[in-house]
A = this chain, B = another copy of it.
Amino acid sequence: NTVVGVPRESAAGERRVALVPKVVERLKVRGLDVVVEPGAGSAALIPDDSYVRAGATLGDPWSADVVVKVAKPSRDEIARLKSGAVLIGFLAPLTDAEGVRALADAGVTGFAMEAVPRISRAQSMDALSSQANVSGYRAAMLAAEHLTRFFPMLTTAAGTVPPAKVLVLGAGVAGLQALATARRLGAHTTGYDVRPEVAEQVRSVGSQWLDLGIEAAGSGGYARALTDAERAEQQRQLEQAIGGFDAVITTALVPGRTAPTLVTAEAVKGMRPGSVVVDLAGESGGNCELSEPGAVIVVHDVTIAAPLNLPATMPEHASELYARNVQALLELLVDADGALAMDFGDEVVAGACVTREEP
């Protein structure tokens, strides 16, 4: 049988794991064997014996035929893969050319979850979206945590406090989930995106649409970069609008590029003391000019949080969603008996593949 190995993640702060026990069960049914490194689930509070009960064995995951990871492997980890092995994970193909080359040199066939084509047949493998759902949820929670005020309206015998006003910039999966979560919590929510076609989606989660009159739809569901004139106009209008919100959550990313600045220092200065900015683009330089990626700071009495790797802060479900994405991709790579049978003529297989062992 094809053996799937699940290492313990080694990156700092990474609490996720590539497979969860429920998915191990399903892979067993498909004829795959699973070897889990002891402690692989411990940061996600998933004990080893849960994997064993699901049919996995505990052992060395690196000698497996297919190794499944969350974060890209370190150089040491690449050295432990056997030549001809298949590796699945977030391999950062757009930003880590050297890492991809190291995989190729090691004779590894690599599939990057980020490179899965965004077509409807591959939706079940869309790990960027599944993890963005987690990020958006956690971003709304972080905004509520750092705000010195309530999100919901509260009525007490001594009077009423009004609901918080939350603005979400960027209405992709993370932005929509942040809007939906903030609204669930009782906030008054408003969304903005340079792609006017997402206005309907913003409204569908019960939020208002902030219309700045700037359009910049790009390809693959992302926005294109704005022209200088568009950016200046956007900045001017956003600076005016942002002062009216208690919390601003930013989620604007352009793949392979530095994140656009949406919340300037001047805009932060215009916010009411006690307000909050949660910047989800910290890993790409940040959407807020004052963000310090990985830190929570207070400037002009406004709290600015730029968390890194938010999905890792909710590790069990983030892992479960990711594992299901990995499962869907794995099922595309094996035949009915669970033997590896990769069809590189398949658009999804070819699209996700970033290095391929020469036959």
Contacts and interface: CB of A to CB of B under 8 A. Distances in A.
A206 interface: no
A8 to B, nearest CB: 16
Contacts of A99: none
Number of copies: 2
Contacts of A44: 148, 274
A344 B61 CA distance: 77
Contacts of A273: 45-47, 50
Given A47-B301, A274-B44, A184 B328 contact: no
Nearest to A323: B158
Interface in A322-343: 324-325, 327-328
Contacts of A123: 157-158
Nearest to A173: B156
A141 B15 CA distance: 20
Contacts of A321: 154, 156, 158-159, 161
Nearest to A158: B324
B301 A45 contact: yes
A274 B129 CA distance: 23
A298 B42 CA distance: 11
A149 B314 contact: yes
Contact of A148 (B148, B154, B314): B314
30 contacts: A44-B148, A45-B274, A46-B273, A46-B274, A46-B301, A123-B157, A123-B158, A126-B157, A133-B154, A137-B150, A141-B141, A141-B144, A147-B314, A148-B316, A148-B317, A149-B314, A149-B316, A149-B317, A152-B181, A154-B317, A156-B324, A158-B324, A158-B325, A158-B327, A158-B328, A159-B324, A161-B317, A161-B320, A181-B185, A185-B185
Interface of A: 15, 44-47, 50, 123-126, 129-130, 133-134, 137, 141, 144-145, 147-150, 152, 154, 156-159, 161, 181, 184-186, 273-274, 298, 301-303, 314-317, 320-321, 324-325, 327-328
